[in-house]
Every structure is written in C-alpha cells, then in structure tokens.
Amino acid sequence: MSEEMHGAVFGGPLERLRQAARIDLPRLVDEYAQIRNACETTSSYDDRLDRPGYFGPPAFQSSWTRLRDIVWTAAGETSDNLWELSQGLEAALNRFLHEDDIAAREMDEIRDRLQGDRSPGNDEWTVGHDSGEYPR
C-alpha cells in the first residue's frame, strides 16, 4: 500500500478489514472460548488428580491445577480482547466510511460553487479535461 489508493481499489482492503472484524476475529474468539471451556475447573476434576499411587506425589496436582488455571485465564482474556478488537475495528471502519462520505459531498459542493456556471471562461476547471464536465 505504498501508492495512494482510492475508489474501488481502496474498497477491497476496507472490505477485507470489515471481514476480519465480522468473521475472522469472532471465529478466533470462539476458538479461545472453546479452549477455556475445555479447561475443567471444578473440584471433581481436581480430585481425580489426588491419587498419589497413580499420578505420583501430590505436588503434581498443585502444579497441574496452577498451569490449568493460567491457561484458563489466558484463554478467557485473549477471547475477550479479540472480541473488543473486532468491535473496535468495525466501529472505526464505520466511522471512516461515514466521514469519507461527508467529505466527498462537501468537496462536490465546493467544486460546484467554485466552478460556478461551468462557462468556458472558467479555465481553472476546463483546461485539459475534455469539455469540463465531471462525472457524478
């Protein structure tokens, strides 16, 4: 994107950002939510690890539950952050498109006002551009 983009060429990347905000990021949110939900945190699951003859010394249970809690917390926070990112990205795109439409209308009004009656004497607008008619 080193060259200036506008019009239909610029619309492609904007639509790709909208797709990221509405589809891609929410899918990631769901993936992290599933990871978090898969980390069972009830005491019944913790009690299963409290069998020294099968799992080894009790330190294993403590280490495992701490690790599981870290993964559970990280997956939940990541899911929340990705959701906020998707909402913020869509809001920013909507704001940009709204302000871009307003700016385009204002520029059209200014051009029409400066162009005046489109007389051939208004060389500022007609020289080098066919008959001076601008597409709408």
Q: Which tens digit of pLDDT belongs to each residue from 44-82?
A: 666 666 666 666 677 777 788 888 889 999 999 999 999
Report the domain count for the chain: 1
Alpha helices (runs of H) in 1-136, residue ranges in sequence order? 7-19, 25-38, 43-48, 52-55, 59-115, 123-126
User: CB under 8 Å, gap of 24 or more: what pairs does 37-46 form?
Assistant: 39/68, 39/71, 39/72, 39/75, 41/68, 41/69, 41/72
Domain hosting 24: range is 13-116
Has residue 46 been placed in a domain?
yes
Between residues 42 and 91, the one the model is more confident about: 91
Has residue 135 been placed in a domain?
no
Has residue 109 been placed in a domain?
yes
Has residue 74 been placed in a domain?
yes
Which pLDDT score is estimated for 50?
A: 66
Has residue 93 been placed in a domain?
yes
Has residue 91 been placed in a domain?
yes
pTM of the model: 0.64
Which pLDDT score is estimated for 107?
A: 87
Has residue 128 been placed in a domain?
no
